[in-house]
């Protein structure tokens, strides 16, 4: 078999159905091989920066590693930002880097980059470099296993393009052995023993869940634990772990009011499946005392909050143990009273222009819609207050927090789940760099709905410049006519500056099975960051 056939066979063996790419001269031979097999669909982006976010959206929504094929040099370099985000926010992406040929290294040939693996060293879990033809298949398998082993983050495989058309035999050599997952059942048992004693006199425990709980079994366990009378909070990445309709679900830990009251009254907070990074909680003024921290990665335990007890291991196994412990207990929380208090808060918030947009969307958008956010005003309100009912249906980049994400990631999310409606919440600052992918929407018939909030400004930065430096207007933007831009690509587009108009558009013009861009120019203020 030729190298390209080995790669294609690996994709088939691994049940890879979609590959995200931007081709170049180095990848053409592999492209030809893949194009000849209908069961593998390639999605070609217009820029590798967007390509990486497409893969991110696909992986978050499907729960499986996304596959990227990139060229050397600028191709590989352009996916850096997306890979940083995926690495920081635990998103599995398998990067197939078709590199320059080893024999030509050091000659200054097209796209040559010395030691590209070094460039990615800090934001991939592992790099596999195919120096010997016989290791191609084993390196690919090991890379995928590594990508699927917690922490699930990007993995890089560099393959010299000269191998693509080369006959390769004897694919029997072992590659590198991938890191194994968490071990130590004795450690978990010991921790659960300690936890049972620790909780013996606790009357008001709270469960806080992160993105690592985003699977069916953890959801069942969360429901079982909190059904015993515990409030449940999430990080932004954990929105949707369980339905916000559940009586014990109180939403994002960064919200104000009742959520802060719950944390202040808690005598222990059990945080599971989250690294509790600064951006997840502490930066937003979240105070957590008497913390029990459970995560697969011990490197983050104790970094931002001191722990009373902790365990680095299989989070699902620990949750099983916690369920057994709390089922024997009764607790002092008045869940119904707290839920009523929060409902009153939400009623008052409806008078706020920012919340009104989110309330409107939740009332007009199908409940199973995948909502993908940039870092813009409507998205911040959604992060705080949007109810989420299903797993993997709320995507927001909270790793390195890039402002350009939602449109590209929505294309990946919709590719992963074509059966579900998909809405991208774009800002004008973050949205414009992604608009080239309107062409991708048309080319592949990907029916996403794009809501662009256009306030002609980097509003957060503009506010900071005014408040900190007394400089006005320095962050204003010159934007195109987004409606005309979308229509130029053959996409239906509408504009409104009022909530009434926005509601009418979503009820009348958005059909979910065809693409549409909606530009909203109404005022959306800052969320209540403090308090």
- pLDDT tens digit string along 428-442? 999 999 999 999 999
Length of the chain: 531
Q: Given this model, what pLDDT does residue 180 score?
A: 47
Burial track 107-120 (b if 16+ CB lie within 10 A, e otherwise): eeeebbbeebbeeb
Q: Is the pLDDT of residue 178 over 90?
A: no
The answer to whether the 3-163 and 350-520 domains have the same CATH topology is: yes
Q: At 422, which helix (H) or strand (E)?
A: strand 422-427
Q: Can you name the residues that pair with 252 across neighbouring β-strands?
A: 234
- Token couple for 47: 């820029």
Query: How many C-beta atoms lie closer than 10 Å to residue 490's C-beta?
Result: 11
- Token couple for 401: 């927090």
Strongest mean pLDDT among 75-79, 324-328, 380-384, 490-494: 490-494
**In whole angstroms, what is the distance from residue 439 CA to residue 359 CA?**
31
**In whole angstroms, what is the distance from residue 523 CA to residue 467 CA?**
19
- Helix (H), strand (E), coil (C) string for 187-236: HHHHHHHHHHHHHHHCCCEEEEECHHHCCHHHHHHHHHHHCCCCCEEECH
Yes or no: say if 446 and 515 are a contact pair by the CB < 8 Å rule. Answer: yes
> For the domain bounded by 3-163, which CATH number is listed?
3.40.50.970
With vertex at residue 161, the alpha carbon angle to CA 156 and CA 166, rounded to the nearest 5 degrees, is 120
Q: Given this model, what pLDDT does residue 530 score?
A: 56
**In whole angstroms, what is the distance from residue 159 CA to residue 69 CA?**
11
Specify the residue for token string 């509003």: 459
Which architecture characterizes domain 350-520 according to CATH?
Answer: 3-Layer(aba) Sandwich (3.40)
Query: How many C-beta atoms lie closer than 10 Å to residue 445's C-beta?
Result: 9
Q: Is the pLDDT of residue 336 over 80?
A: yes
Cα–Cα separations (whole angstroms), residue 465 to 391, 462, 470 = 38, 5, 6
From the centroid of its chain, how far is CA 11?
A: 23
175: confidence class by pLDDT, cuts 50, 70, 90? very low
Q: What is the pLDDT of residues 367-410, one digit of tens each?
A: 999 999 999 999 999 999 999 999 999 999 998 889 899 999 99
In the chain, how long is the greatest CA-to-CA distance? 72
Specify the residue for token string 């909606």: 518
Q: Is the pLDDT of residue 172 over 50?
A: no
Yes or no: say if 342 and 257 are a contact pair by the CB < 8 Å rule. Answer: yes
With vertex at residue 526, the alpha carbon angle to CA 283 and CA 213, rounded to the nearest 5 degrees, is 50
Q: Can you name the residues that pair with 19 across neighbouring β-strands?
A: 42
**In whole angstroms, what is the distance from residue 52 CA to residue 124 CA?**
13
SS3 (DSSP) at 83: helix
Domain residue ranges of the chain, discontinuous segments joined by +:
3-163, 185-339, 350-520
Q: What percent of the chain has pLDDT over 90?
A: 77
DSSP one-letter string for 255-310: --THHHHHHHH-SEEEEES----GGGTGGGT----SEEEEES-TTSTTSSS-EEEE
Q: Given this model, what pLDDT does residue 272 score?
A: 97
**In whole angstroms, what is the distance from residue 469 CA to residue 201 CA?**
51
**In whole angstroms, what is the distance from residue 453 CA to residue 22 CA?**
29
170: confidence class by pLDDT, cuts 50, 70, 90? low
Q: Is the pLDDT of residue 90 over 80?
A: yes
**In whole angstroms, what is the distance from residue 357 CA to residue 382 CA?**
9
SS3 (DSSP) at 518: strand
| Fold annotation for 185-339 | Rossmann fold (3.40.50)
**In whole angstroms, what is the distance from residue 375 CA to residue 395 CA?**
11
**In whole angstroms, what is the distance from residue 497 CA to residue 502 CA?**
8
Query: How many C-beta atoms lie closer than 10 Å to residue 476's C-beta?
Result: 13
Rounded to 10 degrees, the C-alpha dihedral 221/226/229/231 comes to 160
**In whole angstroms, what is the distance from residue 370 CA to residue 423 CA?**
6
Q: Is the pLDDT of residue 179 over 90?
A: no
Backbone angles phi and psi of 375, in degrees to 5: -105, 85
Q: Given this model, what pLDDT does residue 102 score?
A: 66
């Amino acid at each position: 078999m030729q190298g390209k056939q080995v790669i294609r066979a690996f994709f088939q063996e691994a049940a890879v159905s979609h590959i995200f790419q931007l081709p170049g001269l180095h990848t053409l031979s592999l492209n030809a091989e893949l194009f000849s097999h209908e069961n593998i669909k390639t999605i070609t982006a217009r820029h590798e920066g967007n390509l990486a976010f497409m893969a991110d959206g696909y992986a978050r929504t499907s729960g499986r590693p996304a596959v990227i094929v990139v060229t050397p040099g600028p191709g590989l370099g352009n996916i850096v930002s997306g890979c940083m985000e995926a690495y920081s926010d635990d998103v599995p992406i398998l990067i197939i880097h078709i590199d320059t040929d080893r024999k030509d290294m050091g000659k200054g040939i097209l796209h040559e980059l010395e030691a590209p693996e070094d460039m990615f060293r800090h934001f991939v879990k592992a790099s596999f470099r195919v120096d010997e033809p016989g290791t191609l298949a084993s390196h690919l398998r090991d890379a995928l296993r590594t990508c699927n082993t917690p922490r699930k983050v990007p993995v890089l495989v560099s393959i010299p393009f000269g191998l693509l058309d080369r006959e390769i035999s004897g694919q029997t050599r072992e590659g590198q052995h991938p890191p194994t997952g968490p071990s130590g059942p004795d450690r978990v048992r010991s921790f659960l023993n300690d936890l049972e004693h620790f909780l013996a006199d606790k009357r008001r425990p709270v469960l806080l869940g992160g993105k690592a709980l985003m699977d069916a079994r953890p959801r069942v366990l969360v429901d079982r634990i909190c059904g015993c009378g515990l409030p449940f909070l999430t990080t932004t990445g954990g929105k949707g772990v369980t339905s916000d309709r559940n009586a014990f679900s109180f939403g994002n830990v960064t919200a104000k009011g009742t959520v802060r009251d719950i944390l202040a009254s808690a005598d222990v907070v059990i945080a599971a499946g989250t690294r509790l990074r600064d951006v997840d909680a502490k930066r937003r003024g979240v105070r957590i005392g008497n913390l029990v921290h459970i995560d697969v990665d011990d490197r983050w335990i104790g970094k931002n909050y001191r722990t009373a007890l902790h365990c680095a291991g299989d989070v699902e196994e620990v949750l099983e143990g916690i369920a057994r412990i709390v089922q024997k207990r009764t607790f002092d929380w008045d869940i119904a009273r707290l839920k009523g208090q929060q409902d009153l808060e939400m009623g008052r918030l409806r008078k706020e222009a920012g919340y009104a947009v989110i309330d409107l969307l939740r009332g007009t958008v199908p409940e199973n819609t995948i909502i993908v956010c940039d870092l813009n005003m409507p998205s911040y309100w959604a992060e705080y207050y949007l109810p989420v009912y299903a797993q993997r249906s709320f995507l927001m980049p909270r790793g390195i927090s890039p402002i350009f994400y939602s449109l590209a990631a929505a294309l990946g999310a919709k590719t992963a789940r074509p059966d579900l409606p998909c809405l991208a919440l774009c800002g004008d600052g973050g949205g414009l760099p992604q608009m080239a992918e309107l062409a991708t929407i048309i080319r592949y018939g990907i029916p996403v709905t794009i809501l662009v909030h256009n306030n002609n400004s980097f509003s957060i930065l503009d506010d900071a410049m005014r408040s900190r430096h007394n400089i006005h207007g320095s962050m204003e933007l010159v934007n195109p006519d987004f409606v005309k831009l979308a229509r130029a690509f053959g996409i239906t587009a509408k504009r409104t500056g009022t909530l009434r108009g926005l509601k009418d558009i979503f009820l009348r013009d958005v059909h979910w099975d065809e693409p549409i861009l909606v530009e909203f120019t109404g005022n959306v203020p800052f969320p209540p960051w403090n308090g």
